[in-house]
Chains A and B, each alone.
Chain A
Amino acid sequence: MSAIESVRDRYRTFDEQRYAPLVKGVALFGLLAALPVIIEIDVAGMELAALLSLKVLILTVIYAYTAQSWNIMSGYTGQFSFGHAAFFGIGAYATQKLLVDFAVNPWVGMLVAGVLAAGYGLVIGALSFRFKLQGHYFALATLAFAELLRFVVTNMSELRGANGYFKPFPRDYGAEYGLVAFQFQNDLPYYYLIVGFLLVVTLVSWVIKNSWVGLYFFAIREDERAAASVGVPSFRYKLIGVAVSAFFTALGGAYWSMYFNTIRPDTVFALFKNVELLLPAVVGGPGTLLGPIVGSFIVTPVSEIARTTFSDINGLDRIIYGAFLVAIVIYSPRGVVSWPSQARALWKRVRGDEEVSE
């Protein structure tokens, strides 16, 4: 037995244990927690931080978080949303509106925003699913609902139109810098906060995946008619998927509005925001737990580095996003996380052929 095989067998025995998901989760989030330290390690006279700053890390985890949220709806139930910027923008705007105009604590505002976004998701879902919009048509409908919000917000003086909101100081809503205020004076707490967000949404995803709800979601994704024939109420479960996904995406928008100083319709509701929110999940592997996280660590740093390094080439990051999207859809629709098992299958085939020829 080769060394590779014995390692593989040991991994398989580990994987069958009940505690395996826990161990994997702790390892993954331990690594994420250690990243700010790791990037400052000096490798051959060059710090990794020169390439991968804490800011880029935060952005990466934000998109891992939003992709994980998108995944609950689009990866699990298969209803491909191209309009998650709607929920993201609602999250950002509702939180800031409540904060600036009513001095509502951002944590409370964030939850209100989540509920609002879930409501908007239910409206989009109920209309689309009632009229049996599927595939491209559904994706276009969600995009239309997102763009609709961008136009409405841009033209609403109550939401400060195109100017958007500027995040107030903590003292303006009776708080001091820290967790309660949702504001910190340096980036490190922000990083751990978004890792915490990612942990929560990943746990929720894991619970869904391991319950009947997840199985119903997958059944709907695979074949709605077959699912209905064995008692899956697809309309209701698709709505559940949309609502949960919209809720968590809005929380991401709220975080965004607290981490960055300003929000405007053409940032949080931007047409391109829709792509940024879904791409990590598509690249990493839609429908998987690890995919959105892995995908974001591939997509976001590369595009950020390209954007800052070649800052004179306007829109290079978007070209890179586009290239990723095209490449992954054509060559590996199951995403990067499917590569190990595909490699194993290939390896098996090659070895199988050898055995035959021997």
Chain B
Amino acid sequence: MSADETNAPDADAESADVPDADAPRSDSPDADIDRDGEQILSVEGVGKRFSGLQALDDVDMTVNRGEIIGLIGPNGAGKTTLFNCISGAFPPTSGTVRLDGEVISGLPAHKIARAGLARTFQITRPLEELTVVENAMVGAHIHTRRRSEAREIAMENLEFVGLADKAEEEAGELTVGAQKRLELARAISTRPEILLLDEIMAGLTPSESKQMLDLFRQLRERGTSLLIIEHDMKAIMNISDYVKVLDQGKGIAFGAPETVVEDDRVIEAYIGGFDVDA
């Protein structure tokens, strides 16, 4: 599926409940959305079934170069499951995921990482008994087998996230806030084209969150695309170019933040959920 097709205008998109391969999905971007940049990631009709539970059902979405896309939805909507399907933690039961046009769904996680997609985990997974810099070096070794070069890349990225002074500490000793930044440093040490961030701001102090948003913007300027799951609505509406809304495993809306919050289906999904003044 090309970018043009995904972005095809369809005024009645919302009511297109009958599956039709040619018609844009119910949550296709609105006709007036004109997205720049080449397509990096495309998720096409992805579904995931866990013995009896349909965790994801026919989800479509795309991410273009340099975009920041927010992925939101109530608890249990399938956001993390979608991340796991994209990053290869497990394969989707149906549908395809493409990175730069190449099919990556079904590949093991390490190959997807090498193809240029990195992720962080909702519950941080530091390599506890390794030092902070070694954690980041593991990611950097994708590009080089030389330790000195890996160390250089790792230190650059630790500096970027503000952990350079803790480089020689054991990763398990870090505070939650620092572990989150370490997850980011480790992921970007692979120099990904697209970065999947799973609630990386949860548990951060307001000032740490602010710094994190700033890092997101800098990453975007470098040409890295970001797909972000976040519960802090204010932050996500503020930072995202577009927002994708999931509910009960289905994509229910896609669009600019200010349009999405006015979408009836989104409001319904979130009843009494959030108020946005972004």
Q: Which residues of A contact B (CB under 8 A)?
A: 210-212, 215-216, 218-219, 221-223, 225-234, 287
A226 touches B110 (CB 8 A): no
Nearest CB of chain B from residue A74's CB, rounded to whole Å: 15
**A229–B128 contact, CB under 8 A?**
no
Contact of A229 among B119, B126, B145 (CB under 8 A): B119
Which A residue sits closest to B89, measured CB to CB? Answer: A225
Are A231 and B139 in touch, CB under 8 angstroms?
yes
In contact, B118 and A230 (Cβ under 8 angstroms): yes
Does B109 contact A225, Cβ atoms closer than 8 Å? Answer: yes
Contact B142–A231 (Cβ < 8 Å):
yes
In contact, B127 and A218 (Cβ under 8 angstroms): yes
Q: Does B87 contact A (CB under 8 A)?
A: yes
Set of chain B residues within 8 Å of A223, measured between Cβ atoms: 125-128
Report B-chain residues with C-beta under 8 Å of the C-beta of A226.
Answer: 121, 125-127, 186
For A221, the chain B residues whose CB sits under 8 A away are 129
B169 → chain A, closest Cβ, in Å? 13
Decide if B187 is an interface residue (CB 8 Å cutoff): yes
CB distance from B224 to the nearest CB of A (A): 15
Whether, in the assembled complex, B23 has its beta carbon less than 8 Å from a beta carbon of chain A, the answer is no
List, in ascending order, chain B residues with CB within 8 A of A228's CB: 88, 108-110, 113
CB nearest neighbor in A for B108: A228
Q: Is B190 an interface residue (CB 8 A)?
A: yes
Which of B108, B129, B142, B147 touches A230 (beta carbons < 8 Å)? Answer: B142
CB closest residue in chain A, given B150: A212
**In whole angstroms, how far apart are the Cα atoms of A218 and B130 in the complex?**
8
Instruction: Identify which of B111, B126, B138 contacts A216 (C-beta below 8 A).
Output: B138
Residues of B within 8 A of A230 (CB): 113, 118, 138-139, 142, 186-187, 189-190
Query: With a CB–CB cut-off of 8 A, which chain A residues contact B129?
Result: 218, 221-222, 287
List A contacts of B138 (CB < 8 A). 215-216, 219, 227, 230, 232
List the 8 shortest-distance A-B pairs measured between CB atoms, nearest first: A222-B127, A226-B125, A231-B113, A230-B139, A228-B109, A231-B142, A219-B138, A228-B110
A215/B110 in contact, CB under 8 A: no
Q: Which residues of A contact B108 (CB under 8 A)?
A: 228, 233
Q: Which residues of B contact A210 (CB under 8 A)?
A: 147
A165 to B59 Cα, complex, angstroms: 66
> Is B217 located at the chain interface by the 8 A CB criterion?
no
Q: In the complex, how many angstroms separate the beta carbon of B41 from the nearest chain A beta carbon? A: 16
Q: Which residues of chain A are within 8 angstroms of B119 by Cβ–Cβ distance?
A: 229
16 pairs across A/B with beta carbons < 8 Å?
A211-B145, A212-B141, A216-B138, A219-B127, A219-B138, A223-B125, A223-B127, A223-B128, A225-B121, A226-B125, A226-B126, A228-B113, A229-B110, A230-B138, A231-B110, A287-B129
Taking Cβ atoms with an 8 Å cutoff, the residues of B that contact A are: 87-89, 108-111, 113-114, 118-119, 121, 125-130, 134, 137-139, 141-142, 145-147, 150, 186-187, 189-190
The reply to whether B189 and A229 form a contact with Cβ atoms under 8 Å apart is: no
Q: Decide: B121 and A233 in contact? CB cutoff 8 A.
A: no
Q: Chain A residues with Cβ under 8 A from B127's Cβ? A: 218-219, 222-223, 226-227
Complex Cα spacing A226 to B113, Å: 11
Q: Say yes or no: B186 contacts A225, CB within 8 Å.
A: no
Minimum CB–CB distance for A244 against chain B, Å: 17
Q: In the complex, what's the smallest C-beta–C-beta distance from B139 to chain A, in angstroms?
A: 4
A222 in contact with B130 (CB, 8 Å): yes
Cβ distance B98 to chain A, nearest Cβ, rounded Å: 19
A42 CB to closest chain B CB (Å) equals: 45
Q: Are A215 and B139 in contact (CB under 8 A)?
A: no
Most chain B CB neighbours (cut-off 10 Å) among A210, A225, A226, A228: A226
CA distance A226 to B189 in the complex (A): 13
Of A211, A219, A225, most B-chain CB atoms within 10 Å: A219
Residues on A with C-beta less than 8 A from B130 are 215, 218-219, 222
A210 to B88, CA, bound (A): 29
| Chain B residues with CB below 8 A from A227, complex form | 110, 127, 138
Pairwise interchain contact B145-A222, C-beta atoms closer than 8 A: no
A15 to B88, CA, bound (A): 42
CA distance A155 to B105 in the complex (A): 49
Contact of B141 among A215, A225, A229, A287 (CB under 8 A): A215
A222 to chain B: which residues have CB within 8 Å?
Answer: 126-130
Bound Cα distance from A229 to B142, whole angstroms: 11
Chain A: which residue is nearest B121 at the CB level? A226
Q: Please, which residues of chain B bring their CB within 8 A of the CB of A212?
A: 141, 145-147, 150
| Cβ distance B137 to chain A, nearest Cβ, rounded Å | 6
